[in-house]
Amino acid sequence: MRTDFNSRKKPKPAQSLLRAHIVIGIIFLSFLIVEFRLFYWQIIKGNSLEAEATKQYQKLIINTGKRGSIYTSDGHLLVGNEKVYRLFAEPHLYTESKEKIHKQIFDLLLELDTDFKEATEEAAKKEIEENFSLFLENKLAIRDKKWVGIISGVTEKTKDEIENLKIEGFGFDPYFQRLYPEASMAAHVTGFVGKDEEGETLGYFGIEGSLNKELSAKINKEITSNFSFGEDLSKKINGRDVTLTIRRDIQFLIENELKKSIEKYGASSGEVIVMEPDTGKILGLAAYPNYDQKNFYEFPTDFYKNPSVSNFYEPGSTFKVLTVSIGIDSGAITPETKCDNCSESRKISKYTIKNWNDVYHPDINMTEALAKSDNTAMIFVREKIGDKTFIDYIKKFGFGQKITNDIQEDTSPSFPEKWGEVELATRSFGQGISATSLQVIRAINTIANQGLMVQPQFIQKVSDRETHQEIITETIELDQIISKETAEEVTKMMIESASHGEAQWIASKDYLVAGKTGTSQVNNEDGGYDDEKTIASFIGFAPADNPQFIMLTKLNEPTTSPWAAETAAPLWYKIADKLILMFE
């Protein structure tokens, strides 16, 4: 069969042109679609895609470091951190009944309850157990939430024990809380850690409050690669550590002895401060009633403040040491000066001022007057000094001035404005002028430190564990208040006072003490004084010829005896006997 190629029909020119246009149009449209998609992904969705891509190989790590620790000067951890856990539940994941879960975890969680562990009576334990059981039942009964907090403060041991039970729907969130290896030791110095209004960690009172910024952990945000094969490129920025001037052995001693004396003498409260005379370092500070920093919320809020820097009292006869110092330093008297106006009580304005025992000593000299704590002799000294000089010296001794920034709640009573005839008389023997315990020990320490006033200090150093830098606290010399010669003269007078004054019965025969008792009245609500309440105190330094420590003991409202010679002085010597051995 023969094919005739010439017999095929050839396409018309118009049809060929149309097909060409269609092909070109399709190609052009394809280019437009491609360009539009490129524009859409690169321009419109570019930022979004870049973020998504970044997510694939980067992650943001947010870490919070640990709060700084607090140490004693001899290297013992006073306040640290411990890792604990918050037990939470996801009720929608439960595979067992709430009754079975309750039975599995009840005993483990009950052991975390401090009240249960400390309860000694069986009835009290039973009540705590029943209340905790009801609490746990209510928590496990919640089913309409995806997340339920069960209990905080779970230890590593308890966490492991619960995890071994393999209960579905339970989990743990780790966090750090304050650790107190020495229990409540030095609570009034350290303060405690709580939460602010936003729920953030914040230090309150004491060192925790005053150095909150230094102690606080910092938050660090850092972007790291997902391809770092487990390498953590972030850093936790820890808070700085603080080392106190307090010695653990001294703090332990004074806290124990103070508590025993408060019970023995029926006092409502009390304080003991031990300071290094030449540096101002506070070697120990105890106040009672005390509180537990870890469970601060279980105590009355008025327990939190350090009374030695926040509570005001009238020093009473311990102030007489300052009056004779002013008299000698100003040249108004000498230790041998005799009082020519001490044979009877003094009539000042409409008031009659008596001696504490209503016994008077004509022609008594100033050394004897200090030993016998003679009020009329102090009025005599003040009159010899003169009004302006007396007031100026009291200002120089630091009354009306804040002590230190080391303790957050440190305050100071304002300097008296009224200095009439009666006020001048009573203030010469320590009534009618207010101070804190730390102000009193700072002022009288000038005598132990050859007339030089130094700043009391609680902080020895601040350390940065990341940079290994340390900020050492240097001794701060404030002013030469009295001359060295005056300080030596008054020291001799204080030795005589300790050896032959009201507290001579308890004076040590093994070491020399320069000291003075003080029994002051307590203000009542009417602006006068309570006839039945006193504040008993004793301040002294030893050994008197080369002081290693100065100490103030104070008992508020003792009931066995109102007199310092029978309460605060025995407490002072009981502690001092042990301190002398510590400093050898």
Residue 281: what pLDDT?
Answer: 97
Angle, vertex CA 298, rays to CA 64 and CA 306, nearest 5: 80
Q: Is 72 helix (H, G, I), strand (E, B) or coil?
A: coil
Pairing of β 241-244 and β 70-71: parallel
**Nearest partner of 274 among 403, 458, 487, judged by Cα:** 458
**pLDDT tier at 50 (50, 70, 90 boundaries)?**
low
* Inter-CA distances, 401 with 410, 447, 539, Å: 10, 19, 20
Residue 463: what pLDDT?
Answer: 94
- Pick from 224-233, 234-243, 461-470: least confident: 224-233
Inform me whether the pLDDT recorded for 256 exceeds 70. Answer: yes
Q: How far apart are CA 442 and CA 221, in angstroms?
A: 46
Q: How far apart are CA 107 and CA 154, in angstroms?
A: 13
Q: Find which of 117-131, 197-211, 557-571 is predicted with most confidence, using mean pLDDT.
A: 557-571
Angle between helix axes 98-110 and 156-163 (nearest 10 degrees) is 160
**Nearest partner of 326 among 412, 246, 384, judged by Cα:** 384
Q: Is 359 helix (H, G, I), strand (E, B) or coil?
A: coil
**Nearest partner of 242 among 204, 288, 206, 292, judged by Cα:** 206
The pair of three-digit structure tokens given for residue 457, joined into one six-digit string:
């200090």
Query: What is the secondary structure of 134-145 as a DSSP string?
Result: HHHHHHHT--S-
For the chain, counts of helices (H) and of strands (E): 19, 20
Q: 270 and 96 in contact (C-beta within 8 Å)? A: no
Inform me whether the pLDDT recorded for 62 exceeds 80. Answer: no
**pLDDT tier at 468 (50, 70, 90 boundaries)?**
confident
Core vs surface per residue 463-502: b (16+ CB within 10 A) or e:
bbeeeeeeeebeeeeeeebbeeebbebbbebbbbbbbebb
Q: Is 383 helix (H, G, I), strand (E, B) or coil?
A: helix
Q: How far apart are CA 324 and CA 333, in angstroms?
A: 8
- Pick from 11-25, 193-207, 427-441: least confident: 11-25
Residue 117: what pLDDT?
Answer: 82
**Nearest partner of 514 among 489, 488, 540, 538, judged by Cα:** 540
As a whole number, mean pLDDT of residues 166-173 equals 92
**Nearest partner of 286 among 312, 316, 260, judged by Cα:** 260
**pLDDT tier at 21 (50, 70, 90 boundaries)?**
low
Around Cβ 171, how many Cβ atoms within 10 Å? Answer: 15
Instruction: Please name the fold of domain 81-177.
Output: Alpha-Beta Plaits (3.30.70)
Residue 483: what pLDDT?
Answer: 98
Q: Residue written as tokens 């059981």?
A: 133
The pair of three-digit structure tokens given for residue 534, joined into one six-digit string:
């006193």
- Residues, the chain, total? 584
* Inter-CA distances, 33 with 21, 26, 39, Å: 18, 11, 10
Q: How far apart are CA 195 and CA 311, in angstroms?
A: 25
Q: Residue written as tokens 């006072």?
A: 497
Whether the bond into 335 is cis, omega within 30 of 0: no
As a whole number, mean pLDDT of residues 337-350 equals 94
Q: Residue written as tokens 């080392």?
A: 243
What percentage of the chain reaches a pLDDT higher than 90? 74
Phi, psi of 181 (to 5 degrees): -60, -25
Residue 1: what pLDDT?
Answer: 41
Name residue 173's beta-bridge partners. 86
Residue 47: what pLDDT?
Answer: 57
Q: 514 and 448 in contact (C-beta within 8 Å)? A: yes
Q: Look over the chain and give the mean of its residue pLDDT values, rounded to a whole number.
A: 88
For 257-284, how does the pLDDT look when each residue is reduced to its tens digit (9 = 90+)?
Answer: 999 999 999 999 999 999 999 999 999 9
Q: 550 and 448 in contact (C-beta within 8 Å)? A: yes
Q: 304 and 192 in contact (C-beta within 8 Å)? A: yes
Inform me whether the pLDDT recorded for 58 exceeds 50. Answer: no
Quick one: three-class SS letters along 470-536?
Answer: EEECCCCEEEECCCHHHHHHHHHHHHHHHHHCCCHHHCCCCCCCEEEEEEEEEECCCCCEEEEEEEE
Residue 39: what pLDDT?
Answer: 54
For 395-428, how does the pLDDT look when each residue is reduced to its tens digit (9 = 90+)?
Answer: 999 998 888 778 888 888 889 999 999 999 999 9
Q: 92 and 263 in contact (C-beta within 8 Å)? A: no
**pLDDT tier at 43 (50, 70, 90 boundaries)?**
low
As a whole number, mean pLDDT of residues 187-204 equals 91
Same fold, 81-177 and 248-296+305-582: no
Q: How far apart are CA 390 and CA 384, in angstroms?
A: 10
Residue 23: what pLDDT?
Answer: 62
Angle, vertex CA 506, rays to CA 502 and CA 507, nearest 5: 90
Q: Which CATH architecture has domain 248-296+305-582?
A: 3-Layer(aba) Sandwich (3.40)
Inform me whether the pLDDT recorded for 537 exceeds 80. Answer: yes
Q: How far apart are CA 48 and CA 277, in angstroms?
A: 69
Name the DSSP letter for residue 40: I
Domain boundaries, the chain: 81-177, 248-296+305-582
The pair of three-digit structure tokens given for residue 406, joined into one six-digit string:
């080391």
Name the DSSP letter for residue 537: E
Q: Residue written as tokens 């540096």?
A: 279
Per DSSP, helices labelled H in 292-386 are 307-310, 320-329, 366-372, 375-385
